[in-house]
Chains A and B, each alone.
Chain A
Amino acid sequence: QSVLTQPPSVSGAPGRRVTISCTGSSSNIGAGYDVHWYQQLPRTAPKLLIYGNVNRPSGVPDRFSGSRSGTSASLAITGLQAEDEADYYCQSYDISLSGWVFGGGTKVTVL
């Protein structure tokens, strides 16, 4: 059971919009710690997708966007493309655990 809760899977048709939720608690996201998102394509190392809740590293398409509110955060992918099929993870810091926590991961399928 991960400290940050994500749906196991989401799917959408090409061109559509999907969102992935990341639900935490008062000891992590709710305490004001930033949320970061990673994309992991099959058989590769993860890649930073969103940092500081809403910021995209250089080279990440603006189809990807992040938000945070209360004890939760979300990742949105608009204009879904076949190359977006991957696993997505959220990450934050937990003050009770004195360490990082990851969500369990969400598999995005493009129909």
Chain B
Amino acid sequence: EVQLVESGGGLVQPGRSLRLSCVASGFTFDDYAMHWVRQAPGKGLEWVSGISWHGGTIGYADSVKGRFTISRDNAKNSLYLQMNSLRAEDTAFYYCAKDQRSGWYSVDFWGQGTLVTVSS
């Protein structure tokens, strides 16, 4: 059974940093691309960042470019999102998401999400 378990969310002040982690199980992690997708409370889905199976292809939404960094450790079956210079508008549930393919295509499994609240 595929499982994606996020951690690292919480309350953080504007301008500070936070690092999200996602531990994967139930599939061969290094065969698939991975993504972070966020959803502000009561709002729609927003793609944040994606990384191919080997980390060679990485992309970011314009809203986080230059502030967020995605990475993965295939030996640890883990995906990360380093979030710097956080803003109030970054407040959202952050979902770890498994791609159907090794490159970017669509999400076939989602984690349960971790809430990041940026507030003073």
A residues near B (Cβ < 8 Å) are: 2, 34, 36, 38, 40, 45-48, 51-52, 57, 87, 89, 91, 93, 97-105
With A and B bound together, what is the CA distance between A103 and B46 in angstroms? 9
**In the complex, chain A residues whose CB is within 8 Å of the CB of B105:** 34, 36, 51
The answer on a CB contact under 8 Å between A102 and B47 is: yes
User: Is B44 in contact with A104, judged by CB distance below 8 angstroms?
Assistant: yes
Assess whether B108 is in contact with A51, with CB atoms less than 8 Å apart: yes
**Binary A-proximity of B47-89 (CB < 8 A = 1, otherwise 0):** 1001000000001111000000000000000000000000000
Interface hit among B9-17, B22-30, B110-118:
B110-118
Q: Taking the nearest CB of chain A, how far is it from the CB of B23, in angstroms?
A: 16
Task: Please report whether the interface of chain B is mostly helix, strand, loop or mixed according to DSSP.
Answer: strand
Binding site for A on B (CB under 8 A): 35, 37, 44-47, 50, 59-62, 95, 100, 104-113
Q: Is the CB of A51 within 8 A of B35?
A: no
* A46: nearest chain-B partner, CB-CB: B110
How distant is the Cα of A100 from the Cα of B57 in the complex, in angstroms?
A: 13
Whether the pair A99, B108 counts as a contact (CB closer than 8 A) is no
Contacting residues, chain B, for A100 (C-beta < 8 A):
35, 47, 50, 104
Q: Which B residues touch A99, using CB under 8 A?
A: 47, 50, 59-61
Q: Which of B44, B46, B108 contacts A57 (CB 8 A)?
A: B108
- B45 CB to closest chain A CB (Å) equals 5
A45-B100 in contact (CB<8A):
no
B107 touches A38 (CB 8 A): yes
Determine the residue in chain B with the shortest Cβ distance to A57.
B108
- Asked if B44 and A101 sit within 8 Å, CB to CB, the answer is no
- Do B62 and A97 touch across chains, with their CB atoms under 8 A apart? yes
- B89, chain A: closest CB distance, angstroms: 15
B60 touches A48 (CB 8 A): no
Residues from chain B with Cβ under 8 Å of A45 in the complex: 95, 110-113
